[in-house]
Chains A and B, each alone.
Chain A
Amino acid sequence: MASVETQPQASQSSSDNEVIIETRNLTKIYRDFWGRQKVRALKALDLEVRRGEIFGLLGPNGSGKSTTMKLLLGLLFPTSGQALVFGQDPTSIATKERIGYLPEESYLYRFLDARETLNFYGQLFNMPADVRQKRVNDLIEMVGLKWAERRQLKEYSKGMTRRIGLAQALINDPELIFLDEPTTGLDPIGIREMKDLILKLKEEGKTVLVTSHQLADLQDVADRIAILHQGELKELGRVDALLKVSDETQIRAKGVSEEAKAEIRAILEREHAENISVENPTTTLEELFLNIVRESEARPGRRAGSDRS
């Protein structure tokens, strides 16, 4: 994806600790027509998201992460507790002017084309025509849909729809972006580009709240994560701290001979270490795939990975 011009966030360094999202005892109970409780989707959630961080909401299906996001977007009303975005009610117009939202599936008007779609959402932000046109052009370039900008969205593939969905979420150059399962439906290259974009948004000082059940996606981009299960907050903290296994040691080195490996193993055994493993590390399948694609693009016609055989 190409880059797009955005406004630097005001007084970024001085307000890094500013709380952008805050939930206090946030609870959501779904009821039936007669008011009887059907399901308690969220139980007393306390959460704070600070300016400039990428915050991940993680959990299996039905854990309450989508409910949390909908409460923060004003699409649902809390049963009890409070949700504040920029210190205000999520339904307030002032809040909505500063946020962008990419839904789980791109819920867009399928009878519009890409340009009409972005133009329409731009108008909802009261953007003057000239500013809007420039922004629309930039975003269409950024998401790589220039070639299909006049096609109705109903003719788009899932990946293309996600891209135009992302473009509409960024139409107002938001300070806070909600991404609901942003990598769903994307191919590995699209996933990588999405992750790069999320990191780029962070570099620009924007705050990102992202939900996903693709654990690897969040691991790569999130500063902090909250893990929800059955509507309850189970874990909250920095990703690196949460993933650190404090009672194990990992040594990584290049060009170590078999003799040296045997010697290292012997030393560890002598020190009574448990679960000793001295072997070549494996890469992730995503890394492997991306390397192959990059190599193939760099040297067309050559079978990728032939060096490894």
Chain B
Amino acid sequence: MGIEDTIQPLSEWLLPIPGQQLGGLLTFMIALVILIVCGLVFGFILSVFRNGPFEAFYAVFGTAVKSVPELLSISPRRVWAMTWLAFQEAIRKKALLVFALFMVVLLFAGWYINPSAEQPVRLYLTFVLTFPKWLVLLLVIALSVFSLPDDIKRRTIYTIYTKPVLPSELFLGRLFGFVGVGSIVLFAMALVSYIFLLQGFNHTHYINADDLVAGENGTLIGETTEAAGHKHGVTIYPDGNGETDRTHEHRHAISTNEGSTGPEDKYVVHGPTDMFQARVRHIGNVRFLDRSGKNAAPRGINVGKEWEYFSYIEGGTFGAAIFTFDDVNEGMLTEVVEGDETKQMLPVEFNLSVFRTYKGIITEGIRGNYYFKNPETGARSIAIPFTAKEVSDLHYIPRTLSNFKADSEKPELDLLEDLTTEDGGRLELWIQCVEPGQYFGVAQNTVYILEANRNFTMNYVKCYLGIWFQVILVITFGLVFSTFLNGPVALLASFLALGYGSIAGEVKGLARNVIFGEKTGWYGGGPAEAMVRLFTQKNIMTELGDYFWVDVVKGIDMVFAFMIYAFVNMLPDYGMFDTQGFVVDGYNIPIAVVAEQLITVLGFLVALVAVGYFFLKSKEIAA
């Protein structure tokens, strides 16, 4: 998850949207029904094998009926006992050595992670959010898949099974125990990583006051000394305080040293700030106009094999990208000091990409302009020129802008009063590229109103929370696999589930495309149509015709597509728990994402504990 993903509000994510999505709740219910039906059928077949068809019916019925009171009569004390056992097992098998391994790697990491790199924050964050995750995931996979098969192999399970322990208690105990171990290790790694992160960037610059020259409005400008492979431009304000520019993803505050003894220590450059951000985006909807300024479309020009998320507007034409922001209000304005005045401004951040058809002056960026427009009244401000730099570029938009129309009564327009609609607070931002032959790459989430910059530590915690959810899921799946597979096979199954998790989004997308017809031009149809074509010897390009039975066949395929869609939801999409992209890019992880992750984990836990219970219940431990 990262810059590309549009985050739905929790209620929208949970509920179905006709023609677009089934919604989390309905998906869960469908998956649950399929799981129950498959479980009953599988259980019946197994029981027929063991007891014959008549006995099998009663066995399956009896187990299903008994399971309800059994699942409800779980004893916390027994679960605690099993949890304690699993915890002891992991600790005494020296699971904590993983932390020692992590520390050793961290000690040497400083040699390989270069703080003087162009984007050091990105580098450090990627390391501290990736390495611990995979270490802990590998640890908990190993713990969860071998524990139960080992118990069966050593027959220690006999002494548990002959005690009044429910299969669900056995399962939950191990789950909680291993989650406990995983949590402790993960927490320790997160803490040490955080310290490593803060310490890794600490560096000191100096300013020689004699090297500063006079700038505008009584300021002094100059440069710091070089440290950690970079130096900053410096601006000292008339009051003696100042700041550096933002280089290498950070800046420094500057103050005057009262007890200075010379030009070298007249100014104190404080520690780096602004390195770690958690920006809150207010995202709008984008549409594109073609080079004639007409034909609004959800995507712009395709310039070839570039980042697919972006589409482009052509420079020197009427082509434009139009962002419509809803609910724009006074709370989004921020106060900015300009000289002696404090002004209210709207912070808008541009993250535009550039596609050049000729090189031009590569260091200067591509020129463009933007303006604001009221979508109802048509009132618009004059265009503001800017240069797309291909990095995050924060623009503070003054509340009062010049009117594009020559209106002597209203030469200026208020951003909120005149350019924003009364109903719904809608504001349009038009972006155009002015250099012919050059293109701006624009995408939905790349231009936004910057609502706030939240606490980075909290964002870091939320990211680790996502990793922790993955740890829980991996353990639960490992345990479920170990209830019916032996250790090595369960290990393989766990790795496959983890691997599937990383491509789950694509698989789900495929099924969704079939169901909602998002992608047309499929040939050959689904399994039912393919079967018909095989038997009728019609190749995939041949039309089947407009008959009733063709509709029936297509209907059957649609049922298959729904089943596949539900089935692919039975394994988790680990991508949804991976919020590293937000943290690395400096965006706040919306609380809706954490809530969706939590609900997903709880849904899987409920289903998987039930699956584990039935597998253990029907298992002949001594066979």
Determine the main DSSP class of B at the interface with A.
helix
Using CB atoms, name the residue of chain B closest to A29.
B50
Binding-face segment, B76-84, B337-345, B482-490: B76-84
Contact A101 B158 (CB under 8 A): yes
On chain B, the residues within 8 Å of A107 by CB distance are: 154-159
Binding-face segment, A67-75, A191-199, A293-301: A67-75
On chain B, the residues within 8 Å of A105 by CB distance are: 155
CA of A96 to CA of B160, assembled, Å:
10
Contact B81 A74 (CB under 8 A): no
Which residues does B use to contact A, with CB under 8 Å? 49-51, 70, 75, 77-78, 80-81, 84-85, 88-89, 92-93, 154-166, 620-623
Using CB atoms, name the residue of chain B closest to A98.
B164
On chain A, the residues within 8 Å of B89 by CB distance are: 109, 111
- Is A123 in contact with chain B by the CB < 8 A criterion? yes
Q: A73-B162, A109-B156 are in contact. List 9 more A-B contacts (CB 8 A).
A: A96-B165, A103-B155, A105-B155, A107-B157, A109-B88, A124-B81, A124-B160, A126-B77, A126-B164
Contact A30 B623 (CB under 8 A): yes
Considering only residues 42-86 of chain A, those with a C-beta below 8 Å from chain B are 70, 73-77, 79-80
On chain B, the residues within 8 Å of A172 by CB distance are: 163
Select B159's contact among A79, A97, A101, beta carbons within 8 Å. Answer: A101
Using CB atoms, name the residue of chain B closest to A94.
B164
- Shortest CB–CB separation between residue B380 and chain A, in angstroms? 74
On chain B, the residues within 8 Å of A77 by CB distance are: 50, 620
Contact A75 B159 (CB under 8 A): no
CA of A77 to CA of B160, assembled, Å:
17
Select A93's contact among B158, B166, B622, beta carbons within 8 Å. Answer: B166
On chain A, the residues within 8 Å of B620 by CB distance are: 75-77
Contact B163 A124 (CB under 8 A): yes
Contact B158 A75 (CB under 8 A): yes
- Shortest CB–CB separation between residue A102 and chain B, in angstroms? 9
Contact B158 A126 (CB under 8 A): no
Contact B163 A111 (CB under 8 A): no
Considering only residues 102-128 of chain A, those with a C-beta below 8 Å from chain B are 103, 105, 107-109, 111-112, 116, 120-121, 123-126
Interface size bracket, A side: 20 to 34
Contact A123 B80 (CB under 8 A): yes
Select B81's contact among A70, A80, A93, A120, beta carbons within 8 Å. Answer: A120
Using CB atoms, name the residue of chain A closest to B92.
A111
Contact A75 B165 (CB under 8 A): no
On chain B, the residues within 8 Å of A96 by CB distance are: 162-165
On chain A, the residues within 8 Å of B85 by CB distance are: 109, 112, 120
On chain B, the residues within 8 Å of A80 by CB distance are: 51
On chain A, the residues within 8 Å of B160 by CB distance are: 124
CA of A229 to CA of B160, assembled, Å:
29
Using CB atoms, name the residue of chain B closest to A152.
B92
On chain B, the residues within 8 Å of A23 by CB distance are: none
CA of A77 to CA of B55, assembled, Å:
13
Chain B CB count within 10 A is highest, among A105, A120, A124, for A124
Contact B88 A103 (CB under 8 A): no
Contact B156 A108 (CB under 8 A): yes
On chain A, the residues within 8 Å of B77 by CB distance are: 123, 126
Using CB atoms, name the residue of chain A closest to B89.
A111
Contact B159 A70 (CB under 8 A): no
Select A124's contact among B154, B157, B164, beta carbons within 8 Å. Answer: B164
- Shortest CB–CB separation between residue B360 and chain A, in angstroms? 69
Using CB atoms, name the residue of chain B closest to A66.
B622
- Shortest CB–CB separation between residue B366 and chain A, in angstroms? 66
- Shortest CB–CB separation between residue B125 and chain A, in angstroms? 38
Contact A123 B78 (CB under 8 A): yes
If A75-B620, A109-B85 touch, whether A125 touches B164 (CB-CB below 8 Å) is yes
CA of A178 to CA of B622, assembled, Å:
16
Contact A103 B92 (CB under 8 A): no
- Is A225 in contact with chain B by the CB < 8 A criterion? no
- Shortest CB–CB separation between residue A42 and chain B, in angstroms? 13
CA of A123 to CA of B78, assembled, Å:
6
Contact A75 B622 (CB under 8 A): yes
CA of A229 to CA of B154, assembled, Å:
27
Across the A-B interface, the 7 shortest Cβ-Cβ residue pairs: A123-B81, A75-B622, A111-B92, A107-B155, A124-B163, A96-B164, A101-B162
Select B78's contact among A70, A74, A126, A168, beta carbons within 8 Å. Answer: A126
On chain A, the residues within 8 Å of B51 by CB distance are: 79-80
On chain B, the residues within 8 Å of A255 by CB distance are: none
CA of A112 to CA of B75, assembled, Å:
23
CA of A75 to CA of B159, assembled, Å:
10
CA of A79 to CA of B50, assembled, Å:
6
On chain B, the residues within 8 Å of A94 by CB distance are: 164
- Is A179 in contact with chain B by the CB < 8 A criterion? no
- Shortest CB–CB separation between residue B367 and chain A, in angstroms? 70
CA of A13 to CA of B621, assembled, Å:
37
- Shortest CB–CB separation between residue B501 and chain A, in angstroms? 30
Using CB atoms, name the residue of chain B closest to A100.
B162
Chain B CB count within 10 A is highest, among A77, A96, A108, for A77
On chain B, the residues within 8 Å of A109 by CB distance are: 85, 88-89, 156
CA of A58 to CA of B166, assembled, Å:
32
CA of A271 to CA of B556, assembled, Å:
96
- Shortest CB–CB separation between residue A150 and chain B, in angstroms? 14
If A75-B620, A75-B622, A109-B156 touch, whether A120 touches B84 (CB-CB below 8 Å) is yes
